[in-house]
Chains A and B, each alone.
Chain A
Amino acid sequence: MKRFAIGKFTLPVYSVLALCFMLIPIVYTIVFSFNNSHRSNTTWEGFTFDKWLGVCNRPDVCEALGNSLVIGAVSTLIATILGTALAIGLVRYRFRARALVNLALFLPMATPEVVLGAGLAGLFFNAGVGAGWVTIIIAHVMFCLSFVVVTVKARVQTLDPVLEEAGRDLYANPNQVFWKITFPLLLPGIVSAALLAFSLSFDDFIITYFNSGDVTTFPKYIYVAAARGVPAEANVIASGVFIAAILVVLITQIRGAVKRKRLLKSS
């Protein structure tokens, strides 16, 4: 492990190299989305925009994408609501079972996906519920919940309770205090949590595989296609999602930084 005195540049250089290493598969995937592949997308056959322009020429890819988006949206909505409530309850109130609740919320994050997937599949099977949309969404909400709680909790902890007291002092009833003071201030954390939940849901494979029945999500499509060759259209979609996600994050960061700079300057 490097220490901070061995050459001022070792650490920065190492970090940049490490990050480049992390990005290699991403670059590879994006590059190969432009591959003029015919059957399998394993060797380079020339540069083309065709796959980008005609991404839904393979309908099953787009269908899988559509399914993933819908499932992601619904799961995110449910998980965010449940998780935000949990986070507020955990931070703002003292109650005896707190340690247990913390533990109960942590366990899903540390549990391997095979266990969660197999367990849920067994449960649905025993309950006579057929695998499909409902079971996927239930499963996705399940594993996203803890991550939402962690993210929102961090934000709630920075919220000074005195602001809510001030609201009550200024004639706002508890309902108004929540919507006019608490919620707006928590919103950045809630949004981060929702984005995180959406990414987790969109990218999930193992749990979905165990519980999806006939419904194909984007990762499931890729897994099944991996044996015979993943088509370049899948790369196109993945690259598109990646670029969109990175843009969203970058724009948020830059906007936040610009806002902060403006605030500081005019004071």
Chain B
Amino acid sequence: MAVEFQAAGADLELIDVRKEFPGFTALEDMDLHIPAGEFFALLGPSGCGKTTTLRIVAGLEQQTTGQVLIGGKDISGTKPHERPVNTVFQSYALFPHMTILENVAFGLRQRKIEDPIKKATDALNLVELGHLAERRPQQLSGGQQQRVALARALVNRPALLLLDEPLGALDLKLRRQMQIELKAIQLEVGLTFLHVTHDQEEAMDMADTVAVMNKGRIEQMGAPEALYDRPKTAFVSKFLGQSNLFVGSVVDSNANTVSIEVGGHKISVPKDRAEKHTGKICIGVRPEKATFHRDQPKLGSDHVLVGPGEIIDIRFTGVSNQYLIEIPNVGELTVFAQNVGISPVVELGEKVWVSWKVEHSFGLSDLPDGTEDEE
């Protein structure tokens, strides 16, 4: 059964997909829509179901219930070799008994496409490995193998390209380089990419849209900047970057902001950045948005001020210093200060105040584990 070359990427739709294994449910009521031509990242910790999702789209697993549509066509029951989808596997899965040229030509041959060798050679040239065409996969480095795996998938011009943590085995520098290349190829060829990863930096860097998955569900989906700026659940706030989270009951609410009281301090969040406005809510702020002061500063109501507290840990990470500050009755806060030349000479144990702009707060829809509503 010949699968046609696609003119361009197609969109992917998952409707109410559920996957159950004996003993646990891997995916619960997944609804997903990826527009054609987009670079989409599925981000989550191991076991969250992202690889299962990928395999269901590829056809390597069958969903328990639900539908999978590509380009509007329901392919839910079809076999992998009948779907216009190709996968770049985490371990590359290059056939050891074939040269890399034959590896790349494999899909073309199966579909009886004309002139497979020429097309395979072009694909190898695209990833700059044309000169190694007669080598076996075992003779190539990790980075080269990764590019062969990519070429082998791309040469088939699939409507949808699935990438299963393809950069996981590469060292940092190579990974950064491949991220740039992958993104460039995607834009140039115009395919739809579905990239599965647990590396949040990678997802934020490469993707147009990121979906954060946890325990078989998508917790939040959107553009990387939006997700980072305004996480909506405790999980997302902790998984994507770091957050300081504060839990308390709403004590004040006016036209623009909602405030909670924590350990004698008032912590506010703009209403349009808060998911919940009443009851016990959780407000958070990113560590890099907070600053600390040696002396208690005079700040207006557009700032949140907490303190005094004590610096209990300082970590140097090159780009910035990370300060861990303990404030009685509030908890531990993390503050990042970029090393812009003169680092503030603070020492462990120093007494400091922490502040940030209210407009940088975000309000979550749920509470962090362990602080559930007890009323």
Contacts and interface: CB of A to CB of B under 8 A. Distances in A.
The 7 lowest CB-CB distance pairs between A and B, nearest first, are A267-B139, A170-B107, A166-B93, A171-B110, A168-B80, A162-B93, A171-B81
Interface string A12-37: 00000000000000000000000000
Interface in B134-156: 135-136, 138-141, 152-153, 156
Given A169-B60, A170-B156, A266 B107 contact: no
Nearest to A171: B110
B3 interface: yes
A170 B84 CA distance: 9
B5 to A, nearest CB: 12
A253 to B, nearest CB: 19
B76 interface: no
Given A168-B79, A170-B156, A171-B81, 15 more contacts: A165-B80, A165-B89, A166-B87, A167-B95, A168-B60, A168-B80, A169-B80, A169-B85, A169-B86, A169-B153, A170-B107, A170-B152, A172-B81, A266-B139, A267-B138
A173 interface: yes
Interface in B179-197: none
Contacts of A170: 81, 86, 106-107, 110, 152, 156
A162 B81 contact: no
B91 interface: yes
A150 interface: no
A185 interface: yes
Of B58, B89, B136, B140, the most chain A CB neighbours within 10 A belong to: B89
A176 interface: yes
Interface size class of A (residues with CB under 8 A): 20 to 34
B156 A185 contact: no
Nearest to A163: B93
Contacts of B85: 169
B96 interface: yes
A167 B89 CA distance: 11
B139 A263 contact: yes
Contacts of A166: 87, 89, 93-95
Instruction: Tell me what chain B mostly uses at the interface: helix, strand, loop, or mixed.
Output: loop
Contacts of B139: 263, 266-267
Interface of A: 160, 162-163, 165-173, 176, 180-181, 184-185, 263, 266-267
B182 to A, nearest CB: 18
Given A185-B96, A263-B138, A171 B91 contact: no
21 contacts: A160-B93, A162-B89, A165-B80, A166-B89, A166-B93, A166-B94, A166-B95, A167-B106, A168-B81, A169-B80, A169-B153, A170-B106, A171-B107, A171-B156, A173-B79, A176-B110, A185-B97, A266-B135, A266-B139, A267-B135, A267-B139
Contacts of A165: 60, 80, 87, 89, 93
A23 B282 CA distance: 80
Nearest to A169: B87
Contacts of B156: 170-171
Contacts of A167: 95, 106
A186 B152 CA distance: 23
B111 interface: yes
A122 to B, nearest CB: 45
A162 B54 CA distance: 14
A261 to B, nearest CB: 12
Interface string B118-140: 00000000000000000110111
Nearest to B152: A170
A24 B93 CA distance: 48
A162 B91 contact: yes
A165 B95 CA distance: 11
Contacts of A181: 95
Contacts of A184: 97
Q: Which of the listed residues B94, B95, B152 has the most CB atoms from chain A within 10 Å of its own CB?
A: B95
A263 B135 CA distance: 9
B153 to A, nearest CB: 8
Contacts of B87: 165-166, 169
A170 B113 CA distance: 13
A228 to B, nearest CB: 53
A176 B85 CA distance: 18
